[in-house]
Each structure stands twice: as C-alpha cells, then as structure tokens.
Amino acid sequence: MEKNLPEEWLTDLPLPSENIAFKPEEMIACAKCGRKNPPNRLKCLYCGGELEITESQSRFFKPNLRKLESWEKGFNVIFLPNADNFDEAKLSAAAGLLKLEAEAVKRLLAAADSLPLARTESEKEAEILRARLEDFGLESLILSDETLAVEKPAQRLRGIEFFDDKLILILFNRDEVVEIASENLALLVSGAVFERKIEATEKYNKKGENKILDTSETASDESLIDIYSRFDSIGYRIYAKGFDFSSLEAEKELLAKDNIKKLLNKLREFASGAKFVDSYLQNRSNLTGIWEVEEKTDSRGLKREGFGKFNLENLTTVNNLAQFTKYSRLQWHLL
C-alpha cells in the first residue's frame, strides 16, 4: 500500500545550483533540416546530417570512440612525445576524454614513443579530439586508415644483394628486382608476427545450443624486417622463413632466426643514415585497445558422427600482422 505524502513534499527537494541545459545561443542549427541540436553532437539528432561546429562549441563535444570494425575506415589520433610534465589533473581529464584508465594513459606517455591514443569514425571527431588533448598539453597528429593502407601488403622479398652504393631487392615468387640507392634507404623496422590457431569441435544442435567436445591450439611466431625508401610508404618485407640469406656469405648460420638478426645488423651498417625502429615488441601492450589484433573464425562445416548425429568444426585464427603493419607504416609517416 502506497504511503500518502504531504502536498508540500516537492518544496523540500534541493534545487540545482546551476542551469545544466544548453543556452539557446549554444544550440547548433542543422544546415540540412534546420532543426536545433545540442552542441555535444557531430550529427543531427533528426536527419543525421553533419553539423557545422565552431571552435567554441567543440568544448562541449564528448567523443563517442566506439570500437570500429576491422573493415571500417577510421582516423587515428597519434600521440607525439613532448617534454611537458603532466600533472594528475591533466592526466585524469585526458583519460576521461579518451575513455581510458588513467594508468593506461600514464603508460602511453612513459613509453616516450608515438603511439595511437584513439581511433575515431570521422575526421571531424579526430580533429576535435586532437584540439581538446592539446588543451591538456598532449600533442598529437591525425593519420587516416587510408593513409596507413594496411590492406596493401608490403612486397615480400626472397633475397637481397649488397653493392657499394645500392641495394638490390629480389621480390618473392616474381622474376623482378628493385634497386634502392643507399642514400634513399630511409627506414628499417624490426618486429615479429605471432599467430595462434584454435580448432574446436562442437556437438551440433539444431536449436543452436552446441556443446564443445574438443579443442586444440597451436601457436607460432616469426621475425620480420620492413624496409622503406624515402619515396615509398608501403615498403618491402623480409620474413625469416623463405628468405635466401646467402648475402651473409661466411656469416650465414643454420637457423633462420639467427640469420635474420645478422641481416638486420648488416642492413644497419649499410645505411647508417636510415632510421631504425625496434620498439614494436615492447609497445604491443600499449597498442591493444586501439589497434587490436585480428581474430577470424571459419567454419569447416558439419561432420557426420553417426546416424543423425553431426559435429561442427571451427577454426579460429588470431594474429597481429595488421597491428604490426600499422605500427611499421606509422614510423614512415613520422620521418
């Protein structure tokens, strides 16, 4: 049974000390439909049209920062290390804006490398985020997914020949070579690709209530080197497997993992003026959350296990190749 309240009970409620609504002059008129929108939106609430936001209005905007699918084209806000000391208030405010834990932001800053802070769905959202971060003392730049062009694989190499003033790159499975003058060799990036495969067998149920019967997992890793000239942002890639290390001559050893280290040292000696980056492995954890590793599940179909009984087999593959490629190509754009 509800308790009867006196008519005066509403008068005892606390009143807000400030007006939390937006002022009429702060509202944004949509150029497409003409309706007024709150200044914390990028698209019209009514028709979905893009709103024209002034610099003063952008301070109200809170980035959505939804997790984009791997196939979506986004815009990456990249932190540029600077010498500023960030106090706790700035760190907390930046973390709130980025929707990250304060400790995660601290780790990003402590890495002293250019790393992604956020991936947005629109360039305008990225621009506003960059400007807001600048207010907290964090410098950044914007690189689009189209610029990083992960869908364009680096050209794989089968071998390398060293000459006094140039490199001859022998392309993998192609009767072609590429010549790069030593002064045009701009960047070397070393890293590794990790792959994990999980095979699962499920007892098939027409109602979709499948029960896992068995799983098996395999893992592999492989060292790689990316080579960039000053005029090519896609680059060339050396995998430890399938590469002819005969250019090492007397230094060549039996194991590919040893040879790729020796080859990297020889490349660094050959082009001492090129930038060398080997920080991917130590920054992998800082990339997770913005540049995720890829995970794909493929169905191998149904397998009969008796009269009227079927098992469903799936293969899940997890690898970091796209993540490394983004990190590698970011280094070229930082030259």
Euclidean distance between CA atoms 244 and 187, whole angstroms: 21
* % of residues, the chain, pLDDT over 70: 84
22-61 adopts what CATH topology?
A: SH3 type barrels. (2.30.30)
Return the domain boundaries, the chain. Answer: 22-61, 64-148, 155-333
* pLDDT beyond 60 at 16: no
pLDDT of residue 2: 53
Give per-residue pLDDT as tens, 23-43: 787 788 888 898 888 776 777
Give 159's strand partners.
Answer: 170
Burial class (CB in 10 A: 0-12, 13-18, 19+), 8: exposed
pTM for this model (two decimals): 0.82
More confident of the two residues 304 and 272: 272
pLDDT of residue 18: 54
pLDDT of residue 108: 87
pLDDT of residue 308: 59
What angle, rounded to 10 degrees, do the helices at 280-287 and 102-110 form? 160
Contact 254, 169 (CB under 8 A): no
Rounded mean pLDDT of the chain? 86
More confident of the two residues 296 and 327: 327
């194991």: which residue's tokens? 255
The three-class DSSP label of residue 332 is helix
More confident of the two residues 83 and 178: 178
Question: 141: closest CA among 56, 75, 214, 237?
Answer: 75
Domain 64-148 has CATH 3.40.640.10: no
